Chains A and B, each alone.
Chain A
């Protein structure tokens, strides 16, 4: 199979295991490309990509933009700190205005869950979801799984134990990771304050653990999530020191384990909160590899979607 089963990347939910395999294989090739002296390939020449970020983002936007430029796409960026609704224009109108300038692909970051689904129903372009509220962040999950494969030296994740730690309730990364890892055959455990774990999450086939040491002892990989202060509309835990005492990972905690798991983080890190600096920068951490792989994964996704939309450009 050389094409994706979907016309958009709205969520990991919609992908088949074959889609995931195709994306990883394509990303492997692009990772080789971006490590060459000349990092650019002409795959998306004459393709225009619009990066529409209705929510603040630095690394994801940069990663997408680099991926697009290394594929030789024409790139336009649109950022709005607030939603289009608050500005008086609907999301559909905003995007259709941009599409009228002949854009082929839209990369969308938005604070509302389902925004990418909504857009895909109302505009004529391939949509890549770059994060929609607490719903999904599919390229992050793809790059996380890709990085796990690399770090563990495996070409599949069957039976691998992955702990996702922290603010699960507000995390699109957690949800996409759960969907992705399950499709790849990994076991998933979530760990965090019970107030930050959705009550019905265990019904998705996920283990739930409140004690961090137990979770880390169980795990081959620990994906540490950022505390999403900006999405917390309620006081879910009493204070940051109390959170750090229970769910912060530092070297001392790791040294008590019988084996230390691979440490991951989607960034940006709250240093001293979910991870201490001596762990974030340690040999156990693959955080910077995740960032590098992010570009390769996004190149793969854009390439495969563009190939579906305009096969004559990319064949």
Chain B
């Protein structure tokens, strides 16, 4: 049995058909044939999109998001695979948890990739069973936004895994600089009287993490880069040959400290959104490949966690359905912009999560996202209260082909 995708424009820098309009014939989960055509395109197609980090409420906080609603949001956002944070109650920190997660999510249209906890109960002290979690299917280890304060723990984790192709996620923030700081340190936030966490916190932690990585080996993935200095440090580390990858989030690309003027808790994210200069450096990092991925950073909360005073509101924002539309509205619907997007949500994530690459070419797995950069914004599918206050959205995914199934939406 085969499917045929007519008149789709290829966005895939690694494909010989990049920029061409083609007919795709899909069979047995693979791209069977690619036929160029001179007809105008009805949609664009790229290797399927992968989110390197999203959070679900389930287990323990199903009022925020369930596996089903997260899957629906991811599908509507055009993603075929999503790496899911181990946070929850209980935390996913052992092989049984990983296996249960996979069993409970395998029926969903979008493939959920489990991240396992780095430390037992994400306590930041005792290594979790990394080998057994990987055996059970974990694609990376992450202490669920708890910054790895213990240099010893990170050193041990990197040493312990340095013969495996599996990333250790770190949120590079030294919280000891101001344990209660919640926003960027700047003139804009000085006006608000909120406690600050300067970009210096990111730089100090990056310097430490790179030293540890150099010493111990292993693969380090940095989540949520937020500052210009941080991007420069990542570039320098890559130049030194360190096995480091990094992402920033859609919140950090779209918002700055100036947007906090009305104490909007939807913009209370961790690490904090920073200055315009930092934002420009993040965009430059995405464009030149210093940053490997754009993460949704989707972190759903209920109204009770967010519609309260800024100081008491939880960190995190929901964005999964709108990440692409926000990117396109801001950066453009031209081919180069769309290629940048595809690199940041397909090639980069597949590389850092060791998923194997997908190309728009004969014989490649048929894991595909179809999208329309000029189309209307997508409908909301997720359950979260705390969607980012996007000012402008443009375009959306219009279909996903994954694991032999074709899902379309308009």
Q: Which residues of A contact B307 (CB under 8 A)?
A: 90, 92, 122
A-B contact pairs, 18 of them (CB 8 A): A83-B312, A85-B309, A90-B307, A91-B309, A92-B308, A113-B192, A114-B263, A117-B262, A118-B308, A133-B194, A134-B193, A135-B194, A175-B190, A199-B185, A199-B198, A201-B190, A204-B191, A233-B179
Interface: B310 (CB within 8 A): yes
Contact A200 B193 (CB under 8 A): no
Q: Among the listed B178, B263, B308, which residue makes an inter-chain contact with A113, where contact means beta carbons less than 8 Å apart?
A: B263
Chain B 305-318 interface mask (CB, 8 Å, partner A; 1/0): 00111111000000
Interface: A136 (CB within 8 A): yes
Q: Which residues of B contact A111 (CB under 8 A)?
A: 311
Interface: B180 (CB within 8 A): yes
Kindly state the separation between the CA atoms of A122 and B309 in the bound complex, as whole angstroms: 11
Contacting A at CB under 8 A, from B193-214, are 193-196, 198
Q: Which residues of B contact A172 (CB under 8 A)?
A: 193
Taking the nearest CB of chain A, how far is it from the CB of B94, in angstroms?
33
Interface: B161 (CB within 8 A): no
Contact A203 B190 (CB under 8 A): yes
Contact A175 B193 (CB under 8 A): yes
Taking the nearest CB of chain B, how far is it from the CB of A121, in angstroms?
8
Contact A114 B192 (CB under 8 A): yes
Contact A110 B179 (CB under 8 A): no
Chain B 275-316 interface mask (CB, 8 Å, partner A; 1/0): 000000000000000000000000000001001111110000
Interface: A81 (CB within 8 A): no
Contact A112 B186 (CB under 8 A): no
Interface: B187 (CB within 8 A): yes
Contacting A at CB under 8 A, from B158-192, are 178-180, 185-187, 190-192
Interface: A115 (CB within 8 A): yes
Q: Which residues of B contact A118 (CB under 8 A)?
A: 263, 308-310
Taking the nearest CB of chain A, how far is it from the CB of B274, in angstroms?
13
Q: Which residues of B contact A201 (CB under 8 A)?
A: 187, 190
Kindly state the separation between the CA atoms of A198 and B194 in the bound complex, as whole angstroms: 11
Q: Tell me whether A133 and B187 are in contact in the complex, defined as CB-CB below 8 angstroms, given that A117-B262, A199-B198 are known contacts.
A: no
Q: Among the listed B178, B179, B185, which residue makes an inter-chain contact with A200, where contact means beta carbons less than 8 Å apart?
A: B185
Contact A198 B309 (CB under 8 A): no
Q: Tell me whether A133 and B191 are in contact in the complex, defined as CB-CB below 8 angstroms, given that A90-B304, A114-B263 are known contacts.
A: no
Q: Which residues of B contact A200 (CB under 8 A)?
A: 185-187, 190
Max count, chain A CB within 10 A of own CB: residue among B185, B193, B310, B312: B193
Binding site for A on B (CB under 8 A): 178-180, 185-187, 190-196, 198, 262-263, 304, 307-312
Q: Which residues of A contact B185 (CB under 8 A)?
A: 198-200
Taking the nearest CB of chain A, how far is it from the CB of B20, in angstroms?
50
Q: Among the listed A13, A114, A122, A199, which residue makes an inter-chain contact with B194, where contact means beta carbons less than 8 Å apart?
A: A114
Contacting B at CB under 8 A, from A68-114, are 83, 85, 90-92, 110-114
Of all A-B residue pairs in the complex, the 4 with the closest CB atoms, nearest first, are A114-B263, A135-B193, A112-B309, A203-B187
Contact B312 A112 (CB under 8 A): yes
Kindly state the separation between the CA atoms of A198 and B183 in the bound complex, as whole angstroms: 13
Q: Which residues of A contact B193 (CB under 8 A)?
A: 113-114, 132-136, 172, 175
Kindly state the separation between the CA atoms of A134 and B308 in the bound complex, as whole angstroms: 17
Kindly state the separation between the CA atoms of A133 and B186 in the bound complex, as whole angstroms: 18
Q: Which residues of B contact A117 (CB under 8 A)?
A: 262-263
Chain A 174-202 interface mask (CB, 8 Å, partner B; 1/0): 01000000000000000000000011110
Q: Which residues of A contact B179 (CB under 8 A)?
A: 233-234
Kindly state the separation between the CA atoms of A255 and B178 in the bound complex, as whole angstroms: 40
Kindly state the separation between the CA atoms of A199 and B197 in the bound complex, as whole angstroms: 12
Q: Which residues of A contact B262 (CB under 8 A)?
A: 114, 117, 121
Q: Which residues of B contact A113 (CB under 8 A)?
A: 192-194, 263, 310-311
Taking the nearest CB of chain B, how far is it from the CB of A83, in angstroms?
7
Known contacts A90-B304, A91-B308, A92-B307; 8 further A-B pairs (Cβ under 8 A): A83-B309, A112-B309, A113-B310, A133-B311, A199-B198, A200-B187, A200-B190, A204-B190
Q: Which residues of A contact B263 (CB under 8 A)?
A: 113-114, 117-118
Taking the nearest CB of chain A, how far is it from the CB of B393, in angstroms?
23
Kindly state the separation between the CA atoms of A136 and B193 in the bound complex, as whole angstroms: 8
The residue on B at minimum CB distance from A122 is: B307
Q: Which residues of A contact B304 (CB under 8 A)?
A: 90
Contact A112 B198 (CB under 8 A): no
Taking the nearest CB of chain B, how far is it from the CB of A124, in angstroms?
16
Kindly state the separation between the CA atoms of A92 and B120 in the bound complex, as whole angstroms: 38
Q: Which residues of B contact A83 (CB under 8 A)?
A: 309, 312
Q: Which residues of A contact B309 (CB under 8 A)?
A: 83, 85, 91, 110, 112, 114-115, 118
Kindly state the separation between the CA atoms of A172 and B190 in the bound complex, as whole angstroms: 11
Kindly state the separation between the CA atoms of A123 and B340 in the bound complex, as whole angstroms: 44
Q: Which residues of A contact B196 (CB under 8 A)?
A: 198
Taking the nearest CB of chain A, how far is it from the CB of B278, in angstroms?
14
Q: Among the listed B178, B187, B191, B310, which residue makes an inter-chain contact with A112, where contact means beta carbons less than 8 Å apart?
A: B310
Q: Which residues of A contact B312 (CB under 8 A)?
A: 83, 85, 112
Q: Among the listed B190, B198, B310, which residue makes an inter-chain contact with A114, where contact means beta carbons less than 8 Å apart?
A: B310
Chain A 111-150 interface mask (CB, 8 Å, partner B; 1/0): 1111101100110000000001111100000000000000
